[in-house]
């Protein structure tokens, strides 16, 4: 749970989200589609207008998430159909993972610095 709380704060910071939806799926009855416990973290924006309706929308459109489904602030999220998607190379995924890892490390250092300065004051 500590990791989830950290990543929650990081995503709000990194993607300028107003808030997040967290969904843990454990078991087929809970919508689990892969055979391990996992958590979905969905950045949310006050202007998205979905509210609690996000769950019904996700369920209804699970296999048909088009480019207008979510709108980030000022920029629509583009989600291609599976047959239109180009496979991402290991190199691309490693670069993305490294970038996010670096940003997370910097974020954690900023948090630690703020906590230290609060303790000193």
Q: Which residue has the tokens 């190199």?
A: 91
- The domain ranges of the chain are 2-81, 86-121
> pLDDT per residue over 72-85, tens digit each?
334 445 556 777 87
Contacts of 37 (CB under 8 A, 6+ apart): 24, 25, 26
Q: Which two tokens stand for residue 27?
A: 């078991």
pLDDT score for 44: 84
- E strand map for 1-121: 19-25, 38-44, 71-72, 75-76
**Exposed, middle or buried by CB within 10 Å (0-12, 13-18, 19+), for 94?**
exposed
pLDDT score for 68: 46
The residues carrying an active-site annotation are 38
> pLDDT per residue over 6-53, tens digit each?
999 998 988 888 888 888 888 888 777 778 888 888 888 888 777 777
- State pTM to two decimals: 0.61
């Amino acid at each position: 749970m500590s990791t989830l709380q950290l990543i929650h704060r990081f995503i709000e910071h990194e993607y300028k989200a107003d808030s997040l939806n967290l969904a843990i799926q454990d078991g087929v009855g809970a919508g689990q589609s892969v055979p391990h416990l996992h958590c979905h973290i969905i950045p949310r924006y006050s202007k998205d207008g979905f509210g609690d309706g996000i769950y019904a929308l996700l369920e209804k459109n699970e296999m048909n998430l088009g480019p207008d489904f979510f709108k980030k602030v000022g920029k629509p999220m583009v989600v291609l159909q599976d047959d239109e998607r180009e496979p991402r190379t290991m190199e691309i995924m490693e670069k993305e993972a490294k970038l996010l890892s670096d940003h997370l490390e910097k974020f954690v250092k900023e948090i630690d610095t703020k906590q230290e300065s609060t303790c000193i004051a």
